[in-house]
Structure 1
Amino acid sequence: MNKIVFSLFLLLSIFAFTAGGCSDKVDKGSKVGDTEADNYDVSKDIQRDMSIQEYNIQERKKLATVRFACDTIALMEYVLANYPEGTYLVDFDRTFTYNIPKSAVIYQKNNEGQYVFGIIAKSWSHDPRLIEMKNIVGYDASYIDLDSTELGTAFFYLTLFKGNEKENTFDTLWEAGIPSHGGFNNLTLEKWEKKKMPYVKANFHYAQGIGHFDYNFFFVDGMLKKPHLLLTYEGINFKRIMTDANGDKYPDYIEFKYLDTGERITVLDSVTFIWKDTCYFNTRNPKQFRYY
């Protein structure tokens, strides 16, 4: 019996000593981990971010079945090499989780060469955290306006590039800001039938209002000139649609007013805004205006 008790005491002593020794090692190691591992954030590591982008480009090359001069992969490489750190050629929102990512680009070719419209997202230069694609694209990413400082701050631009097919590179012709920080969905080329005018529509999710925003860029002076921006949107209790109120070359819009009681939503009224010089003005109250 005494031998059994002694054996148990010896085992417990060894266990306690071993646990104590491990605890000391963990404590010492945790100090290193706190500064180098636990607090390591790839979004604040410029070189690491560039390495990830380079890796993703190489993976796209492996998946590409057809390559051509000034294609999307070449544009990704151009953006990585010529734009500030933390800049991305944005991807479409994936329909399914395992879809291959598709870049938000539209190709246009004419006698003067090949042009590419692309959505570019830049990290705010005053924010130490770089943006990440997963935080700015998709339905859930439309909540980023509530905590954008925690996830980096993205500035979106619709950009027109002209391809130099001999050199397989690009020139940036213009970029137009998109007043949103997250929730990108897709990019499409549309036509305003009333004026037979082409425009590019950048669609963003708006989860807070169960709806979406459309940033419509109209080529009122041709594709090579910086476009005119008109915002339209629709959600559970808000709506703005495009119209032609005064017959000029600029699109106008109608904004609807809703009554939302929590149980029932009804349209109360609507008001037309027309473009004049630099702003959209309320046709009933000229003191009220919007920039887009």
Structure 2
Amino acid sequence: MRILVTGAGGFVGSALVEELRRRGDEVIGAGRREVGEIGPETDWRPLLAGAETVIHLANRAHVMTETGGDPEALFHRINVEGSVGLAEQAAAAGARRLVFVSSIKANGEETHAEAFTNTSQPAPWDAYGRSKWEAEQRLAAHCARTGLELVVVRPPLIYGPRVKGNLRTLMNVVAKGIPLPLALVENRRSLIGLGNFCDVLALMARHPAAPGTWLVRDDEDLSTPELIRRMARALGRPPRLLPFPPALLRLAGRLTGRSAAVGRVLGSLQVDDRATRAALGWTPPMSVDEGLTAMAAEP
């Protein structure tokens, strides 16, 4: 199969290109070098020739501290209008399927009594999540008009080799043996390892039942302290967790203006992906420990 992968130079994209080629697919990788900045005027046509499926990873990613002058407009231009422009050109070029990588942030930031499912009503909290949810709706309308098959996948936090951001920072802290006051945290968070995510994307590129909206996750949901213990084990280091009341951690977050960041560490965000597994016959090929070991092995 001839597949166009956008965002091919990124954390997920580079691993996905490698996985698809390993399976025998002909892959066209599109990054900034090939198309420049992503937006409604981006010309994808030279890369779309002969492509049967497009896997759209390129986007303006969520960041902890937004510095753009108008973040809502920037997310809209790249994640919404840029995605719709790609879909229009893909349909015109004769592509059969678009796999749109959205985000669990389209659903929201926290779960309480029930996990998110593929039928949960989206309620995004921030500009990034709103842009992903709007893109899903715009793409659904466009694909209904043109006949382009649409697959939407909303992953939770993805971890693995070459990951950046908060997870990389946390692993570095654990590697250095710095104590963390998180032993009393009792949350649950769904994650997905990079190998597992690439595996399900490769399946969604061709499975006849894939058109639709899907959630994905690893086989285990972990509390924050359990994630730290698993990281420490993968690194061959002792976990250094101190008992500190979560209520005081939340207070410290409010006093320092970091309530959102603290909330992500203390809160739960769980995904129920049983519908995905039943429809696609998919199970994650890698365990959490295998994924963390691969992440820890990166120099």
Do these two structures clear the TM 0.5 threshold for a shared fold by scoring above it? no
TM-score interval (norm. to shorter):
under 0.3
The structure with the greater share of residues assigned to strand is: 1
Larger radius of gyration: 1
TM-score (norm 1): 0.25
The structure with the greater share of residues assigned to helix is: 2
Q: Which has the higher contact order (CA 8 A, sep 6+)?
A: 2
